[in-house]
Structures are given as structure tokens and as C-alpha cells.
Chains A and B, each alone.
Chain A
Amino acid sequence: MNKYDPRQQDDILGRIAEWRRDGRRIAVATVVKTWGSSPRPVGSQLAIDDSGAMIGSVSGGCIEGAVVREAMQSIQDGQPRMLDFGVSDEQAWEVGLACGGEVKVYVERIEGQ
């Protein structure tokens, strides 16, 4: 690959495929909408397994903790959920999205075989 590719991203889906082969239970969080100065673009992904291991990112790190909790819930109950983080949201301040941006994150479980 080119050493000078500013858009090069981690291969989250490839890693998820490996996790699936290992039989792990997985949820994936995807940034679906952003406003303001959110650090990760739409389409960015974070994958989480049932032990809490994670790959990728949906922010500069400020909302990951909350996303991981919801993702592990989603692995348990199978329900997808939409998470909103932002300065307009009281709870978002609690998780510390202090960079001033807002993001909408969709969390879904990857089904097994």
C-alpha cells in the first residue's frame, strides 16, 4: 500500500470476520451522522466482543465507554439501538464529548452462523 494515503483506515470488517471465525459474539457501532467538530467521519466503525475487546473507533475516545456498554447490551438482547451524543444532550456531557461536536451512532449485533 501507499505510505502516503491519508484516508487509509483500519480494516474493521476484516477483523470482525476473524473474530467470527473464532466464535466470538460481536456488536458493531457505526457513526451515521455528525455535526460540528466530531473527530471521526460518518461510516467510522467500532467493533466490540462480549469480553469487551474493541477494534476501531467512533470518536477521539470520549464516547467509546458509553458505546461499548450499549454494544454489550446489544450482544445480549439482539436489539439494534441508536445513540446520540452531543453538547445539546445533558447525558453527552456526562460522557464528555467536550470537543463540541455531536454524533449519532448506530449499534447492531453481528449474527452468528
Chain B
Amino acid sequence: MKAELFDALMAYREAKSPVAMVTRLEGGEQALVSVDGTEGPLALTDQLVVEARTRMRDDRSGISTDGAHFVHVHNPPLRMIVVGAVHISQMLAPMAALAGYAVTIVDPRASFATEDRFPGVDLSDDWPDEALEALKPDSRTAIVTLTHDPKLDDPALQVALKSDAFYIACLGSKRTHARRLERLREDGFSDRDFARLHGPAGLDIGAVSPAEIAISVLAEMTAVKHGAEPLKAAA
């Protein structure tokens, strides 16, 4: 690996930006494929660039379909920030951790966000907008608001919608969500922003219990991550 490519790779990692190192197995020439560009001495076909980006999206390193290259995906860690240390969060946090997410739960109400209720989960008792600004959501971060309280959810969404978070979702009925959009519109957000906002959070799988609701949210998050929208039933 050339020194300058190694340095470029480290710079992408530092910036928490997804990148893939493509190596030609015969000869060892290499190039980096990022979300919006390529660099390095190895000449890449369009097909290979597309495949590298698909692999980045799916977080799946491997030998390319042409059999001649290795695509090594270097993605920032997956993160999920949950606003609201509520009963659904108690289900969602361990499920998301199993799915590979580093979970942080934000709730300024100290009696909700306790180590007893969330063993082994990172907790923040900062106000949600401050907490999110400090956590710097990137393109591998999902943000879910679950408090039902505009006083807590809205400031979080204001920061979330300005970030690169790949998934932003809010719990609450259709009516609650419509009122939420009205408030955000008054704050200057537009339909383009709302296209990224999943509300009510989760897939319509008839979920009732907190665990089922957590599954529906995690399923929607997974679909968005892999670009599997619009959703189809699994074959």
C-alpha cells in the first residue's frame, strides 16, 4: 500500500466518512472509492466503482464479481441515538446493539435514564439538541425520538435534520406527526427535510408491544440503510 493512499484512508476514517480500498489481486495496485469520488493509481471501471459503493452501503467487504479485485470497506461504526429513555428504548437498545449499532440514549430526565433500566448502554442527560450536537451524527448514524414530548423531541429533530444521519424517525400517531411537521415548518424546515423524516417510526407490521415496536423501527432502519425502499415482502 502506497504511503499516500494509507494517509488518505486514515483521513477518511478521521472524518468518519465511508470509504473502500480496492486492490487488484494481480499486481497489488490500489484505489480508494469514497461516497463521491475515487483516488489512487489503480484504474477503476464504472462497474467496479458501483460495486464498491454497494458494498460500502451494505458494509460487506469481499472479492469483486469480476474475481480480480478485493474491496475492503472501511465504514465508520454504526450508531443509534435514541431520544427518550422510555420502555420502547429498553427493548430497542439491546436489539440495536445485537444488530451492530453502538447505542446512546439521551434523556435529561434523570429518573428515566438510569443504569438500572439500561445496563451497559451509554446514557446522556444533556438536553437533546446539545447531546446530538456533541455526538455529531454522521452518515452511519440513526436517530430515533421516542419521548412523545415536543419539548424534548423537537430540539433533537432540529439538529438531526441538519446532520447526515441516514435514518431519522419519530414515534407518535399520524396526527401527532402532522402537528410535529407544522411546528418544524414554522422553524424553517421544508418538505425536502421531511422526506428524510420517518413518522410514525417503524414499518407497519401490526406491532403492539414495546418489543414489537422496537422490531418495526429496527426493520425500517435496516431497509433504509440498505436502500431497500420501497419495501417488498422477503422472498
Contact = CB atoms under 8 A, between A and B. Distances in A.
A106 interface: yes
Contact of A2 (B3, B9, B62, B121): B121
Interface residues of B, number: 30
Contacts of A112: 3
Q: How large is the interface on A (under 10, 10 to 19, 20 to 34, 35 or more residues)?
A: 20 to 34
Interface string B88-109: 0000001001101111100000
A34 to B, nearest CB: 10
Contacts, number: 75
Contact of A17 (B10, B102, B120, B122): B10
Contact of B3 (A14, A43, A110): A110
A28 to B, nearest CB: 7
A102 B70 CA distance: 17
Interface string A1-44: 11111111000011011001000000010101100000000110
B77 interface: yes
B150 interface: no
16 contacts: A1-B102, A4-B103, A5-B77, A6-B98, A6-B100, A7-B100, A13-B10, A42-B61, A42-B62, A80-B27, A80-B28, A106-B23, A108-B1, A110-B6, A111-B2, A112-B3
Interface of A: 1-8, 13-14, 16-17, 20, 28, 30, 32-33, 42-43, 79-80, 82, 106, 108-113
